[in-house]
Structure 1
Amino acid sequence: MTMQELDPTASPLALFGSELRRFRTDCGLTIEQLAERVSFSASLLGSVERAARRPSRDFTERCERELGLSGELLKLWPLITKETSPQWFRPWTKVEQEARTLRTWEPLLVPGLLQTANYARAVLRGEPGVTEELVNEALEARLQRQSLLKRPTPPIFAALIDEGVLHRPIGGTEVMREQLQHLLTMMAQPRITIQIVPLEVGATTGLLGAFMLAQVPGSPDTAYIETTTHGQVSDRSDDIEAVSLRYDTIRAWAHPLHVSEHVIREKMVTYEQQ
């Protein structure tokens, strides 16, 4: 597809590419000149303008700066990251963004909304056959999801995490030390709670998969339930009732907040000593 044929209404990526080209030409810059200023290759910049490549946030921020913009491209970037999410996951991202309360249970990994970039990258690289380009795209989308916790008034977020997650060295000891420090930092936020479910509980409720529950004003509660290949999004009353009961049961076994913080700190020290 040539630039003359690019239809900005075809997709968010096409809109981004056409807008980037318009801003660049308005500044009287060639692709090569802008590429040199933002320290990316001309071929990459051209591919973005043709809607053949998704831009990273870093790329977008550099173009914004060099073109003297005030958020015109950055406001389009989240629309592009949504496109990188699997089709079945996109309904959940919309629910998540509108939620007033989010509750989650994770038996295997740190919840996605609480993952550091390095931890998330290590998790994403574990997907069979995944390319580094796909890892980077998925990472950008995951980090964009996390922006909802940085709002002036974020949703209430309550996470239950199995203690085994703290012992699983995803990405190595330094990545885990950084990740556990991040959990402690997030726990200091007034609208975020993190509770650890101890290993010695020995119960099996919840071990078959992670899930999230969202409360959206004016809408039915919605659940996201993970499976081996993909997740399921449901607002059926029987699904919500079953998942809510499971969450409450798991939470009854969890350490209180101050004990959970102590458990995380203790494990972080062991990673620091390795």
Structure 2
Amino acid sequence: MTSSPTVKRRRLSAALRQLRIETGLTAAEAAKHLDWDPSKITRMERNEWKRPAPHDIRGLLDLYQVTDGPRREALMTLARESRQRGWWADYQDVFRSSLPDFEAGASMIRTYEALLIPGLLQTAAYTAAMLRGGQVLDPAVIERRVQARLTRQQIISREDPPALVVVIDEAALHRMTGGPEVMCAQLRHLIDVAARPNVTVQVLPLSVGSHPAMTGGAFLILDFPSPDDPSLVYMETATDDLWLETPEELRRYTLIYSQVQGLALSPDESVQHMAALADQLKR
């Protein structure tokens, strides 16, 4: 499994919060002991930090009386590894969230998409056409964003890839993003990728009518291999990114995903349906 600094940083944040609670200190009290700004502890525990400073972690472990050698070293190793930079760090002008890093560390990615082909399955031509439709007109900007997306997609074909389970609303397959030729190639690409053992593609047909995911829109559920890393729900808006991780939120979105997956065509039926749509575009 590919290492993900963001996943490790999230795990470290949760571990530090649990240690503070076990010690019986409030965040303000812990900060006072270390002569820190009161908000510093809160930011660390909320994973609102970029690169944990080893001396800060040592200070917290001393305060929380973590003297057990193996446990202390494990947390310090986690802090050091969470400071690493992945390929996505070179595309900070493109990615506005840590989604690519979380994807890199996931064991399973489940996604429902209502209006677009999911980013992990887009062709370069489809991505470029989508960006132009979103009023990104600078060719250099488009090229860089396309390259970033194609690089992000490499997790699907790497050694030990995550399981990718995709439900696409049929409406996204009928929207002529880039025109018939681009959409035909995109459909063929979906069919090819669906043949991979770690990828499942299902089409939610228009004939289903209303369904549980209509009001909330597109979302992803990311699961991780370690029980120390709880699942996450991710949603993207025009202006912001939303991460959900409470047990109730996870239960709600897992249920919605199961329901739309149950309403969708089977994987084999979905491939047949996409092939028929591609054939229609070639005529």
Q: Which amino acid aligns with 1:213?
A: I
- For the pair 1:104 / 2:114, whether they are aligned, the reply is no
Match of 2:235 in 1: 225
Structure 1's unaligned 5+ residue stretches are: 1-75
- Check the 8 A contact 2:166/2:201 in 1, yes or no: yes
- Structure 2 residue 200 is the aligned partner of structure 1 residue 188: no
Match of 2:250 in 1: 240
> Partners in 1 of 2:111 and 2:88 — Cα distance?
25
Task: Tell me the number of residue pairs that the alignment of Structure 1 and Structure 2 aligns.
Answer: 196
Distance, in Å, in 2 between the alignment partners of 1:272 and 1:141 is 30
- 1:226 counterpart letter in structure 2: E
Q: Secondary structure at the match of 1:103?
A: strand
Instruction: Choose the corresponding residue for 1:210, options 185, 209, 218.
Output: 218
Letter in 2 for 1:212: L
Residues 173, 215 of structure 1: CA spacing in aligned structure 2 closer, same or farther, 3 A cutoff? Answer: same
1:95 aligns with 2:102: yes
Q: TM-score, normalising length from structure 1? A: 0.67
Following TM superposition, by how much is the alpha carbon of 1:227 offset from its aligned partner in structure 2, in angstroms? 2.3
Amino acid at match of 1:118: A
Which stretch has the larger CA shift, 247-256 or 228-237?
228-237
Task: State the percentage of identical aligned residues.
Answer: 32
Superposition map of 1:55-66 within 5 A: none
Moved more, 230-239 or 185-194: 230-239
**1:84 match: secondary structure:** coil
- Matched to 1:94, the amino acid is D
1:271 has 2:278 as partner = no
Counterpart of 1:240, as a letter, is: L
Q: Which runs of 5+ in 2 are unaligned?
A: 1-84
SS in 1 for 2:203: strand
Code of the aligned partner of 1:216 = F
**How far apart are residue 78 of structure 1 and its match?**
2.5
- Amino acid corresponding to residue 125 of structure 1 in structure 2: R
**Separation (CA, whole Å) in 2 of partners of 1:158 and 1:122:** 24
| CA deviation string 1:9-63 (max 9, x = no partner) | xxxxxxxxxxxxxxxxxxxxxxxxxxxxxxxxxxxxxxxxxxxxxxxxxxxxxxx
TM-score of the superposition, structure 2-length normalised?
A: 0.65
Q: CA deviation at 1:80?
A: 4.9
Aligned to 2:153: 146
Q: Cα distance, 1:129 vs. partner?
A: 5.3
Which deviates further from its counterpart, 187-196 or 217-226? 217-226
Is 209-218 or 228-237 further displaced after alignment? 228-237
What is the DSSP-based 3-state SS (H/G/I as helix, E as strand, rest coil) of the residue aligned with 1:97?
Answer: helix
Task: Determine which of 69, 89, 94 is the counterpart of 1:85.
Answer: 94
Structure 1: how far apart are the matches of 2:257 and 2:279? Answer: 29
Moved over 6 A (4+): none
Hey, what's the Cα distance between the residues in 2 that align with 1:166 and 1:131?
26
Letter in 1 for 2:159: P
Aligned CA-pair RMSD: 1.8
Task: Quote the offset at 1:221 in angstroms.
Answer: 0.2
